[in-house]
Amino acid sequence: MNNAFVCPLIKINISYFLQKLVRSTNSYEAKRKRKFLPEWKQVYSFIDWDAEAQLMYCKTCRSCPTQAKGDILVHGVTGDKVRLKTIKEHVATTLHKTAAEALQVREDPVGGRVVAAFDRIDAAVQEKLVKLFNIAYFIAKEEEPFTLFPKLMTLSKTNGLDLGSTYHNNMACSTFVEVIASCFIEDLKEELQAARFFSVVSDSSVDRTVKDQEMIYCTYLKNGKPVNRFIQIVTLDHAHSQGILDAILKGLEVVGIQEEDLKQRLVGFGCDGASVMLGINNGVAARLKHLCPSLVAIWCVAHRLELTALDCLKGIPKLKELNELLRAIHKHYTKSAKASRELEQISKAMEVSILRPGNTEGTRWLPHTSHALEVLIRNYKPLLVHFENHTSDPNDKEASAAMKGRAKLIMTSLKQYSTLLFIHLMLDLLQELKHLSLLFQKDGLTLQMVSDGLQTSCMVFVAMQTNPGPRLQRFLAEVGTGSTWQGVDINRTKADEENFNNLKLRLTNRFCEFASDRFSSLETGVLKAISTLFDLSNWPEDSNALATFGTPELNIIMEHFRPVLEPCKDFTSEDAAKREWLDLKILVSCHYRHLHSQVLWQRLIQGAIGRAGQFQHMQVLGEITHVLPMSSSCCERGFSCMKRVKSDWRSRLSNDTLSSLIQISLHGPPHDEYNTLKAVNKWWSSGRKSRRPQYCD
């Protein structure tokens, strides 16, 4: 009887104990804050940690996204998934093993699983070819001519380095460079194939041979971040919209993008504001929309900012006087070697370092004017001394009457208190515009970054109405209530400050008005919906308002991009996307409200927020919005590179060779980090005839 009575009690106690243990464990796990341990990297070298995004990911799988597609550590994990168990499970997956093998082949074609004919040649010859390719890569990366190659061969021989006697001419260097660039193109093809969506950025310019060249870039996501990559430069047969479109399509074929890819994956087109690009009926963007109805054409925001500044300052008499003053100073010293020599002598006597007076005329008004004003303030005292010598020295027979008259006019203007006030105000205004311009020229620029930058600059301009900027504040503190600055007597009147305050108020208000007008297209249609939906500052705090927030904007986005969403296998239902949007709002409000919008959406796209596959549809929409090209500054950098490479002395470079050189110069790693084995292997195995690296040795 006792046994029959005791056993149920024992069972009850054990069951109670187990339940209590489970509750205790669950409570501990819920409160536990997991963190990445650096010693994990000593055992698993492929694991890395992004401290900013609080993200653990696999470097190997990120390097080979096609082979590892679908694995959680490609995008990375966060929160309670950051644990040693996750790494151990990842190592055992087939996807990681396949990616590791692909990376080994890419980095070491000789030691990888893919065995080429290159393996069968002598080790000394292999070493020789690697060195030849390294030298060719150095020449391309440093934008030097191919004719330097044989000279470096001679120098190497002089220094006792044996590189044989074969493949030492400039034609061999050209061949090596084209093979190296083709390897970069192959990697780019792989990355574009792995991307769900992409955008095209294009611009035109004239090269040294006065030919119209079209620069073509692609914007896509890599590891959750938007990147711009140079594709090709194509000579235009005609400079009208159809001719430009044909050139763009021809360039995209280089990376395997066909018309069907454009219909299913192209979401954006970035360009300058020229009518041939953005014409409503027959512009390039309008013609592209016939192929891709969901295309969003975006006028470069950096170009818009330049025009906004010019609109703001247009019609300001004081600015016109300042521009004439800067041009007169520049002319005074660029047209006369004697004047430049005298200014340098004065600066040495005063023990002051000076800079060459700047010119306000150039392709970009903002940086030229900012530089000219900075130089003027730095050279202020030596300039005044020099101009006073011009006007007061009766024995100066070399200076013409026109030069003396110009010197007197400049000296009088530079001693005006109102002029100095305006110069320091312009320095503050241009400094803020410079920061905004540099932001707008960044690679990976998103709509949220543009919106935040504009709002910040407008707030700074409004604040300047009552609180002087740093340069103006320093000037006012140095002058005080007196009439001297840097030891120079200046002309100050009672009306100067009142007139200056009115001018300052007018300038700052005009900038905000013209910025609102120039950037108004970003506040309409699908771009307005994206800005509202993806900017956390727009999300309401109240839970009832949050429940319905963003639904109309989400519908607008899905309706606009339906032609590219329907063929996307990862976007199966609009209803599922709406459900995910509701779940995402709840999750972000509870756990991620502290994150910046940019970081939040980057982590969402990488799969670091929520469970695996929980926000699949929102990830697709996030990728679309993050590849929209807000700026075409990348094309400007490409043209700068083109003009450096295709100089007057290299004007006969073909477009294929020019594209190869631009590809290496812009996107190639430093020459001391580049691994040539893949390029050497490709060159060895792709020749129409057998290679003979020892033919002349």
Per residue, the 3-state secondary structure of 65-124, as one string, reads CCCCCCCHHHHCECHHHCCHHHHHHHHCCHHHHHHHHHHHHHHCCCCCCCCCHHHHCCHH
| CB atoms closer than 10 angstroms to residue 189 | 14
Report which of 227, 214, 215, 224 is spatially closest to residue 188, judged by C-alpha positions.
227
Residue 121: per-residue pLDDT: 59
Contact residues for 137 (Cβ-Cβ < 8 A; gap 6+): 176, 177, 180, 664, 668, 671, 674, 676
Cα 204 to the center of its chain, rounded Å: 19
Lookup result for tokens 């202020």: 380
Q: Hey, what amino acid is at 356?
A: R
Residue 318: per-residue pLDDT: 86
Lookup result for tokens 């644990």: 83
Instruction: Report H helices in 159-240.
Output: 170-194
Cα–Cα dist 690/282, whole Å = 51
Contact by Cβ (8 Å): 636, 201: no
| CB atoms closer than 10 angstroms to residue 193 | 13
Angle 325-328-330 (CA atoms, 0-180°, nearest 5)?
110
Cα–Cα dist 649/646, whole Å = 8
Please list, residue by residue across 244-269, b when 16 or more beta carbons sit within 10 angstroms of its beta carbon and e when fewer do.
Answer: bbbbbbebbebbebeeebbebbbbbb
Cα–Cα dist 423/319, whole Å = 9
Report which of 612, 621, 620 is spatially closest to residue 570, judged by C-alpha positions.
620
Residue 394: per-residue pLDDT: 64
Task: Look up residue 588 and give its DSSP letter.
Answer: I
Tally the residues of the chain.
697
Residue 395: per-residue pLDDT: 63
Report which of 446, 456, 451 is spatially closest to residue 521, judged by C-alpha positions.
451
Contact by Cβ (8 Å): 72, 612: yes
Integer angstrom CA distances of residue 134 from 2, 146, 234, 512: 89, 13, 28, 52
Query: What 3-state class would DSSP assign to 338?
Result: helix
Contact by Cβ (8 Å): 142, 666: no
- Four-CA torsion 359, 361, 363, 364, nearest 10 degrees: 70
Q: SS3 breakdown of the chain: % helix, strand, coil, rounded to 5? A: 65, 10, 30
Report which of 686, 675, 674, 641 is spatially closest to residue 660, judged by C-alpha positions.
641
Report which of 386, 412, 411 is spatially closest to residue 399, judged by C-alpha positions.
386
Cα–Cα dist 110/112, whole Å = 6
Cα–Cα dist 72/78, whole Å = 11
Q: Which two tokens stand for residue 149?
A: 């190659």
Angle 278-279-284 (CA atoms, 0-180°, nearest 5)?
60
Integer angstrom CA distances of residue 558 from 446, 572, 621: 19, 12, 8
Contact by Cβ (8 Å): 436, 457: yes
At residue 162, φ and ψ (nearest 5 deg) are: -90, 110
Task: Name the stretches of the chain with pLDDT < 50.
Answer: 1-6, 9, 11, 21-22, 25, 28-29, 110-117
Q: Hey, what amino acid is at 122?
A: D
Lookup result for tokens 């927020």: 609
Residue 365: per-residue pLDDT: 64
Cα–Cα dist 622/641, whole Å = 32
Contact residues for 491 (Cβ-Cβ < 8 A; gap 6+): 415, 416, 417, 483
56: β partners = 49, 77
Cα 655 to the center of its chain, rounded Å: 25
At residue 78, φ and ψ (nearest 5 deg) are: -145, 175
pLDDT in tens, 238-268: 889 999 999 999 999 999 998 888 999 999 9
Contact by Cβ (8 Å): 379, 353: no
At residue 201, φ and ψ (nearest 5 deg) are: -120, 135
Greatest Cα-to-Cα distance within the chain, rounded to the nearest angstrom: 134
Residue 5: per-residue pLDDT: 47
Residue 6: per-residue pLDDT: 47
Contact by Cβ (8 Å): 195, 612: no
Contact by Cβ (8 Å): 503, 315: no
Cα 595 to the center of its chain, rounded Å: 22
Contact by Cβ (8 Å): 143, 645: yes
Strands 212-222 and 225-235: antiparallel
